[in-house]
Amino acid sequence: MDVDIFNLSQKLKTHVIRKYINPEWNKDLTLSILDLDLPIKLEIGEYELIDILTPLEKTRFWDGVGIVLDMAKSCTFPLPLLAVAFQQLIAGSSHGHGNDGDDTLIKAWEKVYGVNITNAVNMKSTPQINLDYQRVNDVSWIDSETVVVTACERLGRGGGGMGLLSAGNGELRHRFQVTHDDQVKSYTAGALSFSSDYKIFSSCKGRSNEYGIGDWDQITGKQIDFYYEPIGWSFGEADRLQFLHGTNCLLVATLFPRNDNCYISLLDFRDKSMVWSWSDVRAPATDERRVRDAIAMEETGSICVVNEYEDLGFMDLRSSGGSVRWCSRSRLMKGKMPEEPCYPKLALYDGQLFSSMNDSISVFCGPDWVLILRLCQSYGGSICDFSIGGDRLFALHSEENVFDIWETPLAPIT
């Protein structure tokens, strides 16, 4: 901290507190003031950032800052990553050491952020996949080289459906077709799921009777089966598909607001039967009881649902058509929703239940699913979607280009 008195050659400076974002000096500074009308200026700054550099290093540092800022000015689209790069450039420089020129900043940056910049630069980047502006509904990796993408059919132009694409160059390797009465039909593909025996499932919505769940061979791409939605039910606009490996059944959930009512069912493709079902058709239409997401938990033989207030509900898979046992925890959320709310989403990993709500992700554990942790970010807006891949949790925010990567919380030791 510096204290300056204008028009006088008097200046006091505290000691420097390094590598801490909330410094507390708690130090007395005594000034001799002869004229109380003179202004006093207090400054808190990271002067050690530049003071530790040699003249040559200072020149190279400001050249680096110029490159980052020039790039930001030349962009015609928002790119917050440039702001992050600028912050990291300064942070890395503030930990500089030695007189190795550019190599000093690289080594300091690697030390502060735990990355190997040389390896990162040499990594092969994956190009964007261009789907000719089709609206994508779902995407999932098949393996390290291919992805499956579902997209909306465009009226009058066909397209849409589901395709297998190369992750390296975006080349369309195969288009999964739907046949009805021995004729190939155009359709909109939605939610995706996969079985352990290399089958792909997707919700399908066609122009005539092609409403249901399609089943394809993951290796050959050929259609194996098609489960047409029964009268009074909804499959074609399903929000979530989940294959249950223990029972060889497929969870199909069509939820509000995509549909006025919520439909959740378990399908057995082996004999084309619906082995379990639940709907809120006859239930009172209240916001507190509208299901926004659902996930099956095979170990407990239940299905967990969540409403827009992040209240969790549970249904017993041993009895079809039963009621939801709600655990109301978040009534205080009513009337306090953000300007752009994102509906909750659920995920299961390592015996833990994850639920996104606005700008945070709640983690539940134990037989009673007690809240044990809440992951929250102070910027980026509401969380639109999240996914768990091993030891990393990825969260996509509503604001453009804001993406979080968390360490996946470990389950408590019982």
Lowest mean pLDDT among 11-25, 250-264, 308-322: 11-25
Q: Which residue ranges make up each domain of the chain?
A: 1-36, 46-120, 340-414
pTM of the model: 0.67
Strand partners, 183: 180
pLDDT higher than threshold 70 for residue 176: yes
- All residues at 6 or more sequence positions from 231 whose CB lies less than 8 Å from its CB, including other chains: none
The pLDDT of residue 343: 78
Q: Is the peptide bond before 78 cis (omega within 30 degrees of 0)?
A: no
Q: Do residues 228 and 209 lie in contact, with contact meaning Cβ atoms separated by under 8 Å?
A: yes
pLDDT higher than threshold 50 for residue 216: yes
The predicted model gives 58-75 an average pLDDT of 58
- The model's pLDDT over 141-157, given as tens digits with 9 standing for 90+, comes to 888 888 999 988 876 66
Q: At what angle do helices 102-113 and 55-74 cross, to 10 degrees?
A: 70
The pLDDT of residue 302: 94
Q: Within 10 Å of residue 325's Cβ, how many Cβ atoms?
A: 11
Confidence class of residue 93 from pLDDT cuts 50, 70 and 90? low
Q: Where are the beta strands (DSSP E) in 36-119?
A: 40-43
- All residues at 6 or more sequence positions from 41 whose CB lies less than 8 Å from its CB, including other chains: 3, 4, 5, 6
Q: Do residues 165 and 146 lie in contact, with contact meaning Cβ atoms separated by under 8 Å?
A: yes
Q: Within 10 Å of residue 269's Cβ, how many Cβ atoms?
A: 19
- The CA distance from 259 to 358, in Å, is 22
- The model's pLDDT over 232-248, given as tens digits with 9 standing for 90+, comes to 898 999 999 999 999 99
Q: Within 10 Å of residue 137's Cβ, how many Cβ atoms?
A: 19
| Token code pair at residue 245 | 């490996």
| Token code pair at residue 111 | 């030390």
pLDDT higher than threshold 90 for residue 200: yes
pLDDT higher than threshold 90 for residue 26: no
pLDDT higher than threshold 90 for residue 195: yes
Q: β-pairing, 40-43 with 178-180?
A: unpaired
- All residues at 6 or more sequence positions from 40 whose CB lies less than 8 Å from its CB, including other chains: 3, 4, 5, 31, 33
| Token code pair at residue 161 | 């459906």
Query: Who has greater pLDDT, 100 or 13?
Result: 13
For 202, counting Cβ atoms within 10 Å of its Cβ (0-12 exposed, 13-18 middle, 19+ buried), the class is buried
The pLDDT of residue 136: 86
Q: Do residues 211 and 204 lie in contact, with contact meaning Cβ atoms separated by under 8 Å?
A: yes
CA torsion sign, 380 to 381 to 385 to 389? positive
Q: Which helix (H) or strand (E) holds 64?
A: helix 55-74
The CATH class, in words, for 340-414 is: mainly beta
- The model's pLDDT over 336-370, given as tens digits with 9 standing for 90+, comes to 555 556 778 999 999 999 999 888 899 999 888 88
Q: Where are the beta strands (DSSP E) in 218-351?
A: 223-228, 240-244, 249-254, 263-268, 273-279, 293-297, 302-306, 312-316, 325-327, 345-349
The predicted model gives 279-305 an average pLDDT of 83
For 89, counting Cβ atoms within 10 Å of its Cβ (0-12 exposed, 13-18 middle, 19+ buried), the class is middle
